[in-house]
Chain A
Amino acid sequence: MSESIKENLTKIGITPLILPHEKFHLKTRTVEDRKKIPNPYYPKIKKLKLITMITKESLKAGLKFFTKEERKVIFSRPCIYGVFGGPLGGLAPRREYCTGCMRCVLEYPNICTVDRNPEFLKFGDSYWIPKAPSTAYSSPMYVVNYEAKTGKIPIKGMGYKGAFAGDGWDSMWTDMSEIVRPTRDGVHGREYISTTIDLGRKAEFSAKIEQDIAKNSFRIVKIPVPIIFDTMSPLIKEVTVLQSILLASMQIPTLFIETIDAFSKLKTSCDRRLWVPLLKSKNDFEKLINLRYTPLMIEINPEIETLLPEIREQFNKSIVFYRITKSNNFDDIVENFREKIIDGVHIVSNYHGIFSKSGKKQFIKNVIYDLHSLLVNNSIREEITIIAGGGITMAEHVPKAIIMGADAISIDTSVAVALQLEFVGEVINRDHDQLKEEKIDISWGKKRLLNLISSWHSQLIEILSAMGMKDVRRLRGDIGRAMFHYELEQEAFGDLEWR
C-alpha cells in the first residue's frame, strides 16, 4: 500500500522520503559522550585552610567528636552535586561535578573559589564558545553536545543570562501568539505539526500541473525535516565520520551532500539514494555519469555553471541545486531559473555565517532575506527552493533562517560538535580550516546525529507551536513572525534622547 502511494507520487514528480500520512518521529536514547567536554567550572580549594578549619571544628566539639553523629556534622560537605563527595572530600575535589552553583564559595569564601575552566574555553572556536562564557551551559558547544547526547530539548532554570541582543542570529526574536489555535497540542502528539518541506521546482502558478509533469519541469523531493547534512569536505576526511552521517541521513531520512571522491570511499552497500553529489568540476560530472545512478538531487558549484544545460539533460529526473558561496549579485539565479536550468539554490556562508556579497561581508541571515526578496519580486519565490548553510549551528537558528526566507537549512560544524571532533584553531574557512581527524564508532556517530536532529525537530515544533503554526512551510519568509532588534529599538526608544 505504502509503496503504491510512493510510486503514484513519484509518477507525478514528487519523491516523498516519508509518506504524507506518516508522522515524523525519531527514536532517541542517551548516547554517552565519547570524550568528556571539559567542565565549564573549576573549583579550587585551599587545602591547608580546609584542614585547619576541620581541625578547629573537631577540637571545638571536644569529646563529642568521638560520637558518630558529631563527626557526621563536622564532615558534612557543602556541595550537593558531589564535588566533595569523594573519600577525601575537599582535599581531592571531583571537579567534573561542579555546576558553578557557588554554594561552597558562599559557605567558605576563605577556602573555596570557583573559576572558569580555561580548558573549556579551548574546546571550541570563538563561534562555538564565546570568549566571555558567562553562560557556559548556554554556549553552543555545550548545548549541541547535550542535544546529541540526549536527544532532548535543553531545559534550565533561571532566566536568560546572555547579552541583551547581538549581531547575526541574536539580533532577532521570534514571535508568539497569546491566544492560539490548539497547535500547542502538537508538542504532545494530539495534533500534528508538520515540518515536512518540499525541495525542488514546483508547478508554476499559471501552469497546469499536468503540463509541467509532461515537460518534466515539476520535480519535488519531500523531506520530513527542513535540515540536510552539508558536505564536510575538506574539513573531514575520516570515512567513519562520513559513514555515520550517511547512516543518520538514511534513518531520518534526509539528504546528505558530499563530493563524489569522499562518497566513493564509503561502503558501497549503503543506500545511495539520499546522497546529493556535489559537482565541482567536469571531471566530477563524468564520474557521476559513470556511476550509472540517478540521484534525487545534484548540487553544482558555480565554477561549472556552463555545464548546467548538459547536467540538466543528462539527469532530467534529478533536482539540480546551484551552490553559491559568494556572489556579486543574485540576478543570474533568476535567469537560470527562468531558463529552467536550476530548481533551487543552496547559499553557503563560511562556518561563522559570513558571506561575501559584492565584496561586502554580510551575515547569512541578511543574505537569505536579500535572495528571498529578489525571488519574491521576480514572482518566482513559490517555484524555487532556498537552502541556507553556514553559521547555522543551533536549533534556534533553524526557525530564524526559515523566517528570513530559507526553505531548509544545511548543517556542517554542528555535526562535528555532535560527534565530538576537536577544532584545530578557528574553524571558519571552508577550504582549509581543520578538525582533528579521529576515527569514530559509526553506530555511535549515527545515534548522536539522530539525537541532534530529533532535538532540533522538537525545538522547531516548540517555536511553531508558540506561534500557533501547524506547518513549517508557512513560516518561510514570514518576517512578521520575527522582531528585529534595530526596529524595536527605534519603535520603543525612538523618543528617548540617544547619546
Chain B
Amino acid sequence: METLNGVNDKILAKKVAKHSNNIRNGLDVLPSLKYGVPSGMGNVRWTSDLILSTYYQAKNGNPPNNGLNYLTGASKGGFDCIHFKREKEILETEISRTDEKNIDLSISLNKKKVGRKLDIKIPAYGGGMSFGSVSLNFMISRAMAAKELGTLTCTGEGGYPEPLMKFKDHIIVQLATGMFGVREETLQIAPVIEFKYAQGAKPGLGGHLLADKVTAAVAKMRESTEFTSLYSPFPFHSVYSVEDHKKHVDWVKTINPYALVSVKVSTPRDVDMVAIGSYYAGAEIIHIDGAYGGTGAAPEIAKKNIAMPIEYAIPIVHKYLIKEGVRDDVTLIASGGIRTAFDAAKAIALGADGVVIGTSEAVAVGCTHCGNCERGRGCQIGITTTDPELSLFIDPIWGSKRIINMYKSWIIQWRKILAALGLSSIRELVGKNEVLYYKKQVF
C-alpha cells in the first residue's frame, strides 16, 4: 500500500488503509439493510434500492434476495416502464449447469463478412472513462475485469496509461475530438478503435475536464498544461460530412487494419440517418449513447434536455437499419442509462446487439451517484478523481473482483431471462420486442 502510486507516506498509507477498509465494510453491510435504507441516498433514476442491490451483487455475484428492487428505478419512464411479459417466470427460473453451458451470451462485434472477427463473451463492455476523469486504479480494475470476463473496456479520451498495456487485447482506444493522448502506437495495438463523435450526457457540446482534475500526470498524458480546464471541441473539425467521416475511418484502418471501428454518437432526431451513414463509411459498430448517460462533468442543461433517451433511440435505429437492409451487417451497441442486467436485456429486446456500461461499474466499487465527480478532489470513494490520496481507495484487484461479481450476477439474470423465454442465445433476443410490454405511468 505504501508504494502504490508512489505514495510513501506512512501515515497516509495507514489513513488510506483505515478508510478504505471502512468503505469496503460499509459496502458489504449496507445492502443487508441492517441499518435500513440510507435516507439521503439515490435519486429516481438510481434509486437507493438500485445502488444497494448493485453493491450486493458486486460482493456476492448473484442478485439480492432481501427485497431490494434490482430490476427498475423510479423514473416513471423508459426502462422503468418496460417489463418482460414473463417477468415472474424469469425470476423463478433456476439455472442448471447444463443451462449455463447451453445458453450463449456472446455477441459478435463484427457482423460483416469481411475483416477480423471479434466476439465478446457477454453482451456488454465497458464505456469510455478517461484518465483524468477517473483514477488510474479504477481504470486498471475495469481492464482486469474485462480480461477476466472476456470482454472489453475503453480508454476514453485521455490517453492510454502504461499500466493498461498488459490488458491491450481488451482495451478499446477512443479517438475523440480533442485527440487528447491519441498516439499511433496505441491505435496500432487496439482491437477496436472508437470514434467518439458525441456523448449522450452532453450531446453536441464536446468534453469537459475541469481544471482541478488536470494534475501533472493527467496533463502529461494529455500533453497539456497542469490545472487548466480541458475542453474537447465539438465536432471533429475535420469532419463535416459523412464523406469526411469515411476519410477518418480510412485513416485509422490504414494505421491499424485489424482494428474494428466503432462510431459513438449521441441520439439526435436523425440518429437513424447518422447510424446508416456511419455504417456506409465503414464502421463495424454503431454505438448510440442516450441522453441520460453518465459523465465526469457536463452542463446540467445538456444532461436533461438535449437529445433523446436511449430507450427511444434503440428501436428507431434498429428498425431503420432493418429497412435499409443492413441490420445483419452491423453491430448496434447501446449505452446511456443502462443500469442493470434487466435494462441491458430490455435494450437488446428493443433492438441492440449489446450494451456499454459505465456508471454501474462505478457503483459496483462504491459510487453513491452523488454527482460530485467534477469537483476539485473529485470522488470521495476514489473513482472519479485524480487526487493521489483518494485514488488509493480503489485497490485494482479488489475493484476488479467487485466488477466481475456484478457481471456474474448479470450473467445469471441474462441466462434466466433467456431460459424463461426459451432462447438459447442472447443473439436470438435482439429486436424480439414481443417479449416486452410497456406500462405507461403518469408524471
Bitwise interface map of B from 275 to 319 toward A, beta carbon under 8 Å scored 1, else 0: 000000000000000011111111111111111110111111000
A325 within 8 A of B: no
Q: Are A157 and B15 touching (Cβ within 8 A)?
A: no
Q: Are A164 and B76 touching (Cβ within 8 A)?
A: yes
Q: Which residues from 107 to 162 on chain B have a C-beta closer than 8 Å to any C-beta of chain A?
A: none
Q: Are A156 and B316 touching (Cβ within 8 A)?
A: no
Bitwise interface map of A from 34 to 73 toward B, beta carbon under 8 Å scored 1, else 0: 0000000110000000000000000000000000010011
The answer to whether residues A166 and B443 also contact, given A102-B41, A176-B204 and a CB cut-off of 8 A, is yes
Q: Which residues from 111 to 167 on chain A have a C-beta closer than 8 Å to any C-beta of chain B?
A: 113-116, 132, 134-135, 137-138, 143, 153-167
Q: How large is the interface on B (under 10, 10 to 19, 20 to 34, 35 or more residues)?
A: 35 or more
Contact of A105 among B26, B242, B269, B307 (CB under 8 A): B26
**Taking CB as reference atom, which chain A residue is nearest B265?**
A178
**Taking CB as reference atom, which chain A residue is nearest B339?**
A159
Q: Are B15 and A78 touching (Cβ within 8 A)?
A: no
Q: Which residues from 270 to 324 on chain A have a C-beta closer than 8 Å to any C-beta of chain B?
A: none
The answer to whether residues A157 and B295 also contact, given A73-B18, A459-B301 and a CB cut-off of 8 A, is yes
Q: Are A100 and B370 touching (Cβ within 8 A)?
A: yes
Inter-chain CA distance A219–B443, complex, in Å, is 44
Q: Are A173 and B75 touching (Cβ within 8 A)?
A: no
Q: Are A498 and B41 touching (Cβ within 8 A)?
A: no
Inter-chain CA distance A185–B240, complex, in Å, is 14
B439 within 8 A of A: yes
Inter-chain CA distance A340–B443, complex, in Å, is 43
Bitwise interface map of B from 374 to 409 toward A, beta carbon under 8 Å scored 1, else 0: 110110110010000010000000000000000000
Instruction: With both chains docked as a complex, state the minimum distance between the C-beta of A115 and any C-beta of chain B, in angstroms.
Output: 5
Inter-chain CA distance A46–B75, complex, in Å, is 33
Instruction: With both chains docked as a complex, state the minimum distance between the C-beta of A428 and any C-beta of chain B, in angstroms.
Output: 19
Stretch at the interface among B167-175, B186-194, B205-213, B412-420: B205-213
Bitwise interface map of A from 433 to 469 toward B, beta carbon under 8 Å scored 1, else 0: 0000000000000000000000000010011011110
Q: Which residues of B contact A174 (CB under 8 A)?
A: 305-307
The answer to whether residues A105 and B300 also contact, given A76-B19, A157-B373 and a CB cut-off of 8 A, is no
Q: Are B302 and A105 touching (Cβ within 8 A)?
A: no
The answer to whether residues A155 and B438 also contact, given A165-B77, A178-B235, A179-B235 and a CB cut-off of 8 A, is no
Q: Which residues of B contact A41 (CB under 8 A)?
A: 40
Inter-chain CA distance A497–B437, complex, in Å, is 5
Q: Are B274 and A78 touching (Cβ within 8 A)?
A: no
A99 within 8 A of B: yes
Q: Are A158 and B239 touching (Cβ within 8 A)?
A: no
Q: Which residues of A contact B63 (CB under 8 A)?
A: none
A3 within 8 A of B: no
Q: Which residues of B contact A182 (CB under 8 A)?
A: 237, 240
The answer to whether residues A176 and B307 also contact, given A135-B43, A156-B298 and a CB cut-off of 8 A, is yes
Q: Which residues from 27 to 51 on chain B have a C-beta closer than 8 Å to any C-beta of chain A?
A: 27, 29-30, 34-35, 38-46
Q: Are B299 and A462 touching (Cβ within 8 A)?
A: yes
The answer to whether residues A115 and B433 also contact, given A157-B296, A179-B241 and a CB cut-off of 8 A, is no
Instruction: With both chains docked as a complex, state the minimum distance between the C-beta of A94 and any C-beta of chain B, in angstroms.
Output: 16
Instruction: With both chains docked as a complex, state the minimum distance between the C-beta of B381 and any C-beta of chain A, in angstroms.
Output: 7
Inter-chain CA distance A173–B269, complex, in Å, is 10
Inter-chain CA distance A153–B237, complex, in Å, is 24
Inter-chain CA distance A497–B349, complex, in Å, is 13
B22 within 8 A of A: yes
Q: How large is the interface on A (under 10, 10 to 19, 20 to 34, 35 or more residues)?
A: 35 or more
Q: Which residues from 173 to 192 on chain A have a C-beta closer than 8 Å to any C-beta of chain B?
A: 173-182, 184-185, 188
Instruction: With both chains docked as a complex, state the minimum distance between the C-beta of B307 and any C-beta of chain A, in angstroms.
Output: 6
Q: Which residues of A contact B42 (CB under 8 A)?
A: 134
Instruction: With both chains docked as a complex, state the minimum distance between the C-beta of B45 and any C-beta of chain A, in angstroms.
Output: 5
Q: Which residues of A contact B178 (CB under 8 A)?
A: none
Q: Are B38 and A113 touching (Cβ within 8 A)?
A: yes
Bitwise interface map of A from 93 to 114 toward B, beta carbon under 8 Å scored 1, else 0: 0000001111101111110011
A92 within 8 A of B: no
Inter-chain CA distance A39–B300, complex, in Å, is 19
Q: Which residues of B contact A109 (CB under 8 A)?
A: 26, 29-30, 34-35, 38
Q: Which residues of A contact B43 (CB under 8 A)?
A: 134-135, 161-162
Q: Are A158 and B437 touching (Cβ within 8 A)?
A: no
A396 within 8 A of B: yes
Q: Are A103 and B23 touching (Cβ within 8 A)?
A: yes
A80 within 8 A of B: yes
Inter-chain CA distance A450–B40, complex, in Å, is 34
Q: Which residues of B contact A79 (CB under 8 A)?
A: 380
Contact of B304 among A78, A162, A188 (CB under 8 A): A162
B78 within 8 A of A: yes
Q: Which residues of B contact A162 (CB under 8 A)?
A: 43-45, 75, 304
Q: Are A496 and B204 touching (Cβ within 8 A)?
A: no
A424 within 8 A of B: no
Inter-chain CA distance A421–B373, complex, in Å, is 31
Q: Are A155 and B300 touching (Cβ within 8 A)?
A: yes
Inter-chain CA distance A290–B172, complex, in Å, is 74
**Taking CB as reference atom, which chain A residue is nearest B317?**
A492
Contact of A159 among B208, B292, B384, B443 (CB under 8 A): B292
Contact of B11 among A72, A107, A114, A184 (CB under 8 A): A72
Inter-chain CA distance A108–B314, complex, in Å, is 42
Q: Which residues of B contact A160 (CB under 8 A)?
A: 45, 201, 291-292, 303-304, 337
Q: Which residues of B contact A137 (CB under 8 A)?
A: 371
Inter-chain CA distance A72–B390, complex, in Å, is 17
Inter-chain CA distance A494–B64, complex, in Å, is 33
The answer to whether residues A155 and B78 also contact, given A102-B370, A396-B304 and a CB cut-off of 8 A, is no
Contact of B205 among A167, A178, A466, A485 (CB under 8 A): A466
The answer to whether residues A173 and B266 also contact, given A157-B296, A179-B241, A492-B311 and a CB cut-off of 8 A, is no
Q: Are B301 and A153 touching (Cβ within 8 A)?
A: yes
Q: Are A106 and B366 touching (Cβ within 8 A)?
A: yes
Instruction: With both chains docked as a complex, state the minimum distance between the C-beta of B324 and any C-beta of chain A, in angstroms.
Output: 17
B220 within 8 A of A: no
**Taking CB as reference atom, which chain A residue is nearest B13?**
A73
Inter-chain CA distance A81–B336, complex, in Å, is 29
Q: Are B305 and A498 touching (Cβ within 8 A)?
A: no
Q: Are B11 and A175 touching (Cβ within 8 A)?
A: no
Q: Which residues of A contact B40 (CB under 8 A)?
A: 41-42, 100, 102, 105, 113-116
Contact of A488 among B10, B300, B308, B438 (CB under 8 A): B308
A42, A110, A153 interface centre (most CB from chain B within 10 Å): A153
Q: Which residues of A contact B39 (CB under 8 A)?
A: 113-116
B68 within 8 A of A: no
Q: Are A103 and B373 touching (Cβ within 8 A)?
A: no
Inter-chain CA distance A102–B29, complex, in Å, is 14
Q: Are B390 and A466 touching (Cβ within 8 A)?
A: no
Q: Are A161 and B44 touching (Cβ within 8 A)?
A: yes
Q: List 7 A-B contacts (CB under 8 A).
A: A102-B38, A106-B23, A179-B240, A466-B203, A468-B204, A485-B77, A495-B433
Q: A157-B297, A164-B78, A400-B305 are in contact. List 12 more A-B contacts (CB 8 A).
A: A69-B11, A73-B18, A80-B380, A108-B22, A109-B35, A157-B371, A158-B371, A159-B292, A165-B443, A395-B301, A466-B234, A480-B269
Q: Which residues of B contact A (CB under 8 A)?
A: 10-11, 14-15, 18-19, 22-23, 25-27, 29-30, 34-35, 38-46, 75-78, 80-82, 85, 197-198, 200-201, 203-206, 208, 210, 231, 233-235, 237, 239-242, 244-245, 265-266, 268-269, 274, 291-309, 311-316, 336-337, 350, 359, 366, 368-375, 377-378, 380-381, 384, 390, 433-434, 436-440, 443
The 4 closest A-B pairs by CB, nearest first: A164-B77, A157-B373, A466-B204, A176-B204
